[in-house]
Structure 1
Amino acid sequence: MKIMRPMGVVGIAACAALVLAACGSDPASNNSGNQNSGAPAPSGTANVECGGKSPLSAEGSSAQKNAIDIFSLKYQAKCSGQQVNYNPSGSGAGVKQFNAKLVDFAGSDSPLKDGEEATAAKTRCAGNDAWNLPLVVGPVAIAYKLQGVDKLTLTPEVAAKIFNGGIKKWNDPAIKAVKGNEGLNLPDKDIQVVSRSDESGTTDNFQKYLKAAAKGAWTQGDGKQFKGGVGNGAAGSNGVAQAVKTADGAITYVEASFAKDGLTAAQLDSGSGGVALTSETVAKSLDSASFKKEGSKDLALDLDKIYASNTPGAYPLLLTTYEIVCSKYDNPDIAKAVKAFLTVAATDGQQPLSEKGYVPIPQSLQTKVLDSIKAIA
């Protein structure tokens, strides 16, 4: 697989490009956020005990970089003089830096894996468990650039075969046969797959989706490294989006807000007809969400049920951005600042994201997140 030169990361001035966003509402505003989301919006404020370490250090998911920028501004407004330095190096790098005790918390598009990764995190936390706390939930697009084709429907099976090389041409009969693609002028052109070259939670979630939904068409497994074995690689969400924009006939998987300005997001047909990627269709998928460890303060979501579902009108390809933290820190100043920052992010930090029209965190999930944050010691 060829590796493309990494692209720059979008900065704070591009907050509108955030891909994964939760929305909330300030009770005083009488604004319910995304009213078509199908889930109640979380409340917008909470008591925050400011202080502790400044600046906090964090690293990880590039998909949530713009969210962290917004959260940081709200944190500074709530807690004067407090700052967070966040390096959007990718989920894999963030977890490694956290486990090496080089940062105070990590951002990841997938939770810590049981086994070596979780064990290393527990060691880093001085024998205490590390928790995965979801702050934003949002969709992943299968984004493409193909001249003359502005609406395309893919089944999980067809998507799997594109990303593992089983389908190589845009006019392949399997693509033409998908309901909704009738009459499309699909060209005799090579499909150019673009994947993440760096370790990525987006890659992990996308491959988990294919594994769960593609009914045996994806046998390559999952993980933060792309295992399809075809195409070119580019670093970061912006990197893969830019790579596809420059190549007619290219396709990738990327967080939804990067699927714009020349890219088109494919509709997904899980068995009940093609479903476009919207906040409403993603919210409908959240109805079947559950936790991997019910009753625990570790809030890693079990998304397999969503990925494998065929609920009519539901868009199942989504991911959760987690902040990975110690349940108990060996430095109380770090614990105090982490709790303050995450409390602001889960409350005041939500409203600006809702104004961008993204998927809301349900009230019930926000309540669980705040309960876990309170328990950090």
Structure 2
Amino acid sequence: MTAQRRRGLRPLAAALAVLPGVLVLASCGSGEPKSDGSSSASGPSASGSRTASPGSAAQCGKAATVRASGSTAQHHAMRFWIRNFEKRCHGTRIDYEASGSGAGQADFLGGRTAFAGSDSALRPAQAARAKKACGKGGRAVHLPMLGGPIAVAYNLPGVDKLVLDGRTLARIFDGRITKWNDPAIAKLNPKADLPATPVKAVHRSDASGTTDNFTAYLHAAAPDDWRHPHGQKWPAEGGTAAGGSSELAGEVKQTRGAVGYVELAYALGRTLPTAAIDTGAAAPVGATVVNASKALAGAKTTGSGDDLVLDLDHTTKAAGAYPIAMVTYEIVCDKGNKAATWPATRAFLNYTAGAEGQQDLSFQGYATLPAKVMDKVRAKLKDLS
């Protein structure tokens, strides 16, 4: 990173609340998506010759407008990637709408976008539909692009540190723990002065990969207490619903006694405290980039054939491994991608998966995926058409 870029990042980094051990969000521009969920990353497209910055490995391909949509979890990283890519590749515009993983999958399966950003893999029925969307004998493949912790953010004045575990979280979000001084919470926090404030759990209202990953954690970590399946739609009754990560973080911020699950970057952007998780390890584990990376290091590829779906161990007890982690994918066709935009699409994905794109993730509050995983992603991109 150049000295000029470092100087540009310092003011925003200083403005954000820094939690111990966390690499904070320091992206260019606003820390929140626009209210309509769309990306503000793409500036006006310049016309003219196709150029790349000196020493850059980016291959720009043919000028095009690439439309994509999906995950709000990756919105901050996507904005940063787009800004840098468009500076290199004049004439190409990456139009990414941060509409939620479910909406992104629907757009991709409907043939409306070149790729989808999603925090969860396509279901078997969706994969079957993707064959029609791809055409030419193609199918959808998942390219894991970044990872990070799902933080449990809360609003409880006077309680600066909070420890929760899988069982307690399951009962909170299922409406069975209704006061913050409940004995189950008190047992995990013997030194905290817990008030009798009502617990107000906040969940996503839209089809969300963050919800899928959070409920997958509850299902794995507390199978006897979480009686619902995991999926993109919130399965339990009660609580307060909020559309998108930004709205959920805002709801927690303005509601005393609230607790919600949200990507770390959004919790930091709203200066929300986050709970440490008692995993059974020697000490509770905080929601930090470093701790999420430790959990992601154990991820295994489980996709059929040469697909790259990752399986995370939500029950890990490894020291310092934060268990509520997630992976965001870019979903494309292995063949049959839109001919007019595919060269630019692949160029952009090559940039995001490349050394510079992955290195920049540390300045966004995201966890880097294991090198062996990203090697597979870069190799896979060479085979797509």
Query: TM-score under structure 1 normalisation?
Result: 0.84
1:234-280 deviations in whole A, cap 9, x for unaligned? Answer: 11101000001111100000001212344211000111131112222
Deviation >3 Å, runs of 4+: 45-49, 355-358
Q: Is the 8 A contact 1:156 1:213 kept in 2?
A: yes
Q: Which residue of 2 aligns with 1:108?
A: 118
Q: Provide, for residues 30-81 of structure 1, a one-character-per-residue CA deviation record: whole Å limited to 9, x for no partner.
A: xxxxxxxxxxxxxxx8744322361000011112122111111222233221
2:341 corresponds to 1:334: yes
Q: Is the 8 A contact 1:74 1:344 kept in 2?
A: no
How far apart are 1:147 and its partner, in Å?
1.0
Give the residue type in structure 2 aligned to 1:14.
Answer: S
1:324 to 322, 331, 334: 331
Write the distance in 2 (CA, Å) between the matches of 1:357 and 1:321.
Answer: 14
Instruction: Identify the residue that residue 119 of structure 1 maps to in structure 2.
Output: 128
- Percent identity over the alignment is 40
Relative to 1, partners in 2 of residues 1:46 and 1:229: Cα closer, same or farther, differing over 3 Å?
A: farther
> What is the Cα deviation at residue 351 of structure 1?
3.2
CA displacement 1:182-216 (0-9 Å, x = unmatched): 02111112100111111100000000010011132
1:200 aligns with 2:216: no
CA contact (8 A) 1:46 1:343 kept: no
* Aligned pairs, number: 334
CA contact (8 A) 1:328 1:376 kept: yes
Letter in 1 for 2:370: P
Q: Which residue in 2 is equivalent to 1:13?
A: 29
* Equivalence for 1:98: 108
Deviation at 1:106, TM superposition (A): 0.6
In 1: Cα distance, 2:68 partner to 2:244 partner: 17
Partner AA of 2:30 in structure 1: A
The alpha carbon displacement at 1:155 in A equals: 0.9
Gaps of 5+ in 2: 1-26, 34-54
- Mapped pair 1:307 → 2:309: no
Letter in 2 for 1:49: Q
Q: Name the residue aligned to 1:64.
A: 74
Does the alignment pair 1:73 with 2:73? no
* 1:142 maps to 2:152: yes
8 A Cα contact 1:54 1:83, kept in partner: yes
Shift of 1:93: 0.6
RMSD: 1.9
* Counterparts of residues 348-359 of structure 1 (less than 5 Å): 348-356=356-364, 358-359=366-367
1:122-155 CA distance string (max 9 Å, x none): 2111131101111110000011000111111011
Q: 2:196 aligns with which of 188, 197, 201?
A: 188
Change (3 A) 1:232 1:310: same
Q: Give 1:16 deviation, angstroms.
A: 9.1
Matches within 5 A, 1:1-377: 13-14=29-30, 47-52=57-62, 54-114=64-124, 116-126=125-135, 127-178=137-188, 181-260=189-268, 261-272=270-281, 273-293=283-303, 296-303=305-312, 306-329=313-336, 331-347=338-354, 348-356=356-364, 358-377=366-385
Aligned to 2:297, what secondary structure does the other structure show? helix
- In the TM superposition, residue 342 of structure 1 has moved relative to its aligned partner by 0.1
Distance in 2 (CA, whole Å) between partners of 1:313 and 1:109 is 23
What whole-Å deviation, never above 9, does each CA across 1:101-132 have from its counterpart, x for those lacking one? 01111111111112x11111121111311011
Whichever residue aligns with residue 13 of structure 1, its letter is G
For the 8 Å contact 2:142–2:330, the answer to whether it is kept is: yes
Contact 1:61 1:89 (C-alpha < 8 Å) held by counterparts? yes
Contact 1:60 1:89 in 2 (8 A): yes
Q: 2:297 touches 2:370 (CA, 8 Å); kept in 1?
A: no
The range that moved more, 261-270 or 139-148, is 261-270
**Is 1:46–1:344's contact at 8 Å kept on the other side of the alignment?**
no
User: 2: CA distance between counterparts of 1:14 and 1:362?
Assistant: 29
Q: Measure the CA separation in 1 of the matches of 2:212 and 2:345.
A: 26
Q: Would you say the 8 A contact 1:58–1:107 is kept in 2?
A: yes
For 1:357 and 1:85, the matched residues in 2 are separated by 22
Report deviation, 1:330: 5.0
Question: The residue matched to 1:13 in structure 2 has which SS?
Answer: coil
Kept in 2: contact 1:132–1:300 (CA 8 A): yes
| Alignment gaps of 5+ in structure 1 | 1-10, 18-44
TM-score normalised per structure 2 = 0.82
